[in-house]
Amino acid sequence: MIEPLTTIATTPTNELTGKIAVVTGSSSGIGRAIAVELARAGADVMVHARSNRAGAESTSQLIQELGRDSLVHLADLSDSSEHLRLVEQAWQWRGGVDIWINNAGADVLTGTNANLSFEEKLKILWQVDVLATIGLSRLVGQRMSQHNRGAVILNLGWDQAEHGMAGESGEMFATTKGAVMSFSKSLAQTLAPQIRVNCLAPGWIKTSWGDDATEYWQNRAKRESLSNRWGTPEDVARVARFLASPAASFITGQTISINGGYRRSQVD
């Protein structure tokens, strides 16, 4: 009998043993799930957060409970001067990095940022989701290329950026995540064949926003997935784990949708 995914996801294996990983924005949500999943596969993981030290420490503790090493680093990625500091700290920790995952993204849908104007939200997203991903990827790629054939960079896109979604949120996220997806394809060509670069494009994933979403969005998320359910952070994490592993050595320059199969909504 086939084991359920929840059992498979919690089974430690060793395909990433000896690897050093960095996951930005890993104090909660998708980033936390990715960091823990890489640790399950044997990697030591540096946990990054902007200011949520308690969340980052919690993620780090989960990693250590799996028998892996972990380090916490706080950095505000909207400040470009912090990019080099983060990269240098990562390299100093263990002398190099094998897997770098740019998961950090600005939250403009909940909290105080939800009340900002469209222009202000877009500026924040551009600084964190786009410019930080580009800046960190280039810094990391240069260092990896010097010493580490077979290293991996993964960036975070959005499954609906390719075809668009009506509304203010769709306009913002299609613009910013579409930029990340296009950049990733070009970076893959720049760094090939030494470094593999791919982009994860999650669909409706139930993070903090999804927990409090209205009935309309709850139903829409399920309706637009052929799997008829929300995705989970662990769904994304398992794909990240595969793409970071030697099993994916022939996959680069790709955007991988993680959405349960997209069914375009007939009525928005």
The reported pLDDT for the residue numbered 12 is: 55
Whole-number pLDDT of residue 265: 60
Q: Report whether pLDDT(216) > 50.
A: yes
Q: Is the pLDDT of residue 13 over 80?
A: no
Query: What is the C-alpha separation between 189 and 82, in angstroms, rounded?
Result: 26
pLDDT score of 215: 87
* Phi and psi torsions of 40, nearest 5°: -60, -30
Element (H, E) at 70: strand 70-74
Domains and CATH numbers, the chain: 14-258 (3.40.50.720)
Q: What pLDDT, on the 0 to 100 scale, is given for residue 9?
A: 46
Q: How many other CB atoms are there within 10 angstroms of residue 10's CB atom?
A: 12
Residue whose C-alpha is closest to residue 153's, from 87, 204, 217: 87
Output the six-digit token pair for 61: 């503790």
Q: Worst-scoring range by mean pLDDT, 34-48, 77-91, 138-152, 230-244? A: 138-152
**Predicted confidence band at 11 (pLDDT cuts at 50, 70, 90)?**
low
Provide the whole-model pTM: 0.91
Q: Is 146 exposed, middle or buried (0-12, 13-18, 19+ CB in 10 A)?
A: exposed
Residue with tokens 């498979």: 8
**How many beta carbons lie within 10 A of that of residue 56, not counting itself?**
26
CB 61 within 8 A of CB 31: no
